[in-house]
Amino acid sequence: MDRRKFIQRGGQFVGAAVLGGAAWRVFAGKDPESEFSQPTGPYVWRINQEKCTYCGLCETACVRKPSAVKAVNDQTKCSYCVGCYGHLADFNIASELIDSQGVKVCPYNAVIRKEFTGGKDGYFTYTIDQAKCTACGKCAKRCNELGTKSMFLIIRPDLCIGCNRCSIMAVCPKDAVELAHSYPEDDYRGNFDLDQMLKNQADGKGGAA
Ligand code: SF4
Ligand code: SF4
Ligand code: SF4
């Protein structure tokens, strides 16, 4: 797929799954890794992306260990760069050496770089390994300060136990954790699956995976 077509297709997803700047994305499928079937009530805790500064407290303040907060990368905003600010800490390296020798932003190597098209100087997708992510926020902070703001943190409702008073909300210095309405027929999942999005669009099912 050439660059223009790729971007055009990606652009068709913009807005399809975004709830007005909300902190999560709505998906149709069930997450097989779900430990809980949240939300059970009409509201869920969410992170307001307009307020969050990726201070790092979400990693430790959640009552769940590891945190119910995870980083995600919105593929509709990502530029698919050879070098990603959220993935690579030092850009002074050849493309073909990034994966093997590049200095990574994530302490746990949870940001996954995958060639999409065009070879070593082409286009790459970046996704977050949810099992490795601790919600330290380092990748999202760099992406928001230097990149396209496609990486951010979410409270995954399938991992959140729905505390009456969210302990992250209690300590957040930016007042970024909010209650938001949810709908019983919705299922929530915190990462964009580019391949599934493209497949759904080709099948005429819209953008959500
Ligand atoms: S505590 Fe607040 S500002 Fe810090 S990472 Fe969490 S939501 Fe963002
Ligand atoms: S939030 Fe922290 S642990 Fe999670 S992927 Fe980003 S850098 Fe890695
Ligand atoms: S409501 Fe509880 S489980 Fe959910 S994010 Fe907040 S502290 Fe963590």
Residue 169 CA to ligand 1 centre (angstroms) = 8
pLDDT (0 to 100) of residue 173:
98
Which amino acid residue places its CA nearest to atom 6 of ligand 1? 58
Domain contains 156: yes
* Cβ pair 187, 31 in contact under 8 A: yes
For residue 11, pLDDT beyond 50: no
Judge whether 126 lies within some domain. Answer: yes
| Strand positions, DSSP E, the chain | 25-27, 43-47, 69-73, 111-117, 123-128, 151-155, 177-181, 187-189
In tens, the pLDDT along 174-194 reads: 999 998 877 554 444 444 455
* Per-residue confidence band for 127, with pLDDT thresholds at 50, 70 and 90: very high
Residue nearest to atom 3 of ligand 2 (CA): 133
204 in any annotated domain? no
How much is the pLDDT for 112?
A: 96
Domain ranges, residue 52: 3-190
What is the count of structural domains for the chain?
A: 1
Instruction: Give the pLDDT of residue 40.
Output: 56
Q: Is the confidence at residue 165, as pLDDT, over 70?
A: yes
Output the CA 144–ligand 2 centroid distance in Å.
13
Distances (CA, A) of 37 to 7, 8, 30, 185: 35, 35, 10, 12
Q: Does the residue 196 lie in any domain?
A: no
- The pLDDT tens digits of the residues spanning 41-61 come to 678 899 999 999 999 999 999
What confidence score (pLDDT) does residue 197 get? 57
The two three-digit tokens of residue 171, written as one number: 């300590």
Other CB atoms within a 10 A radius of the CB of residue 73 amount to 26
Residue 156's pLDDT is 87
| Ligand minimally distant from the alpha carbon of residue 126 | 2
- Which pLDDT score, from 0 to 100, does residue 1 have? 41
The answer to whether residues 55 and 185 touch, using CB atoms and an 8 Å cutoff, is: no
pLDDT at 129 over 60: yes
Residue 87 sits at the vertex; the CA angle it makes with 84 and 88, to the nearest 5 degrees, is 80
Closest to 80 (Cα-Cα) out of 143, 16, 30? 143
Could you tell me the distance, in angstroms and rounded to a whole number, from the CA of residue 156 to the centre of ligand 3?
9
User: Cα(160)–Cα(156) distance, rounded to whole angstroms?
Assistant: 6
Q: Looking at the CA of residue 105, tell me the nearest atom of ligand 2.
A: 7
The mean of the pLDDT values for the chain is 78
Of 26-30, 47-51, 56-60, 159-163, least confident by mean pLDDT is 26-30
pLDDT at 203 over 80: no
Helices (H), 28-166: 57-61, 98-101, 138-146
Position 157 in a domain:
yes
Residue 205: which pLDDT band, with cuts at 50, 70 and 90? low
Atom of ligand 2 nearest to the CA of 71: 1
Answer whether 45's CB lies under 8 Å from 179's CB: yes
Say how many Å lie between the first and final Cα of the chain, rounded. Answer: 20
In a domain, 168, yes or no: yes
Tell the residue nearest (CA) to atom 2 of ligand 1: 172
DSSP state of 4: H
Q: Indicate whether 62 belongs to any domain.
A: yes
The reply to whether 206 falls in a domain is no
Ligand 1 atom 5, closest CA: 54
Higher-confidence position of 31 and 61: 61
Q: Is the distance from the beta carbon of residue 155 to the nearest atom of ligand 3 less than 6 Å?
A: yes
Gap from CA of 141 to ligand 1 centroid (Å): 11
State the burial class of residue 153 (Cβ atoms within 10 Å of its Cβ: 0-12, 13-18, 19+).
buried
Ligand 3 in contact with 23 (CB < 6 A)? no
Stretch 125-146: mean pLDDT: 96
Measure the CA–CA gap between 169 and 179, rounded to whole angstroms. Answer: 10
